[in-house]
Amino acid sequence: MGPSPPIPPSFIAKKNAILTSLSVPDDAYTDLSPKGTVDEALKPLIDRINALEGIVTTSSCSGRVSVFLEGSKGGNRKGKIDDPETGTCENAEGQAAVPGGKGMGGRWLFVSHEPVHFNQEGSYLATRLGMSYQLELYDYQKDMDINQVRLARFQFEPMILHVTTASLHHAQPILAAAINAGFRESGIQSLKNLDDAKAFPMVAIRSSGLALESIVGSMRDCMEDLGSLSEDNGGYSNDEEVHSLVREDYLDLLIKLANERFKTNTERMRRFEEDLFRREGGSALGSPWEDGKDRQERKRAEGLKQQEELRRKKVDGKRGV
């Protein structure tokens, strides 16, 4: 790979604006994520990447475990819609939200960006995860239309990092490092906008293979006076509880699985950083792009060379050289 192309002034301006926003003190910085700030686990890597020329991070998540309640499927509704005799919702009108999305009033019940370790004593796991629980699992939904139930999902999501680059030359080594580290679903985006002087290739670093999702709770999709919105709970006022649909030992298993995936996620993050900055005193951006097969062949050749050197040293030692 030849020398890096000149970095456009528009990219430099874009990067400076992003770095200015990131330099705001932690207590004053906010972003559009549920947490509102850059994850502590990613700050060192982000700072190191942003110190390089021709690239800048735009959005990120170090990985998280969460319980998310999907939005209302009924869209805009009017009047009282809960029928106490049938347990169904009536008079629903408007466009339905996408299943599993935030939609109308979807919200996080629990979010953690690090492994979850609850004290042994205390309330039920369901309660700690933002749901209600009783010894006999709720079955009031069994005869209800699925469109009248809002589902709560337990999720583990691995690291995702978006890096905007000045050119494909700068993007390729980042993509190679991500794939080599195990973020197999990484790719380069925004290529259709290359004719735009202010649009640049973006590397999306991600791995869906580590993701984990399971339905763990639900609530009736019944709301009163939905014409009035409230910002406190994502849009609607609703006293209906989110009920756990699974046993406590199943929630415990999910948490243990998520914690194990946190470990794998952290290891992949470490490998990505090492691969990207594998040259002492520099970065991978100045070295040739290397896919997985080429890297395997290089490692094999290096191993054979080391074995040959050790063999020679042994022979020289026996000869008294």
State the pLDDT at residue 105.
73
- Tell me the per-residue pLDDT of 134-185, one tens digit each, with 9 for 90 and over: 766 655 556 667 778 899 999 999 999 999 999 999 999 999 999 999 999 9
Bridge partners of residue 214, in order along the sequence: 154
Higher pLDDT, 226 or 19: 19
Maximal C-alpha separation, the chain: 97
- Tell me the per-residue pLDDT of 95-127, one tens digit each, with 9 for 90 and over: 444 444 555 678 999 999 999 998 776 679 999
Lateral strand order in the sheet of 160-165: 55-61, 160-165, 202-205, 187-189
Q: pTM of the prediction? A: 0.70
- Tell me the per-residue pLDDT of 195-212, one tens digit each, with 9 for 90 and over: 666 679 999 999 989 999
State the pLDDT at residue 82.
40
- Tell me the per-residue pLDDT of 249-304, one tens digit each, with 9 for 90 and over: 999 999 999 999 999 999 999 999 999 998 544 545 544 444 455 656 766 787 78
Nearest-angstrom CA–CA distance, 156 and 257: 9
> Cα–chain-centroid distance for residue 256?
18
Using a 10 angstrom Cβ sphere, with 0-12 exposed, 13-18 middle and 19 or more buried, the burial of residue 311 is exposed
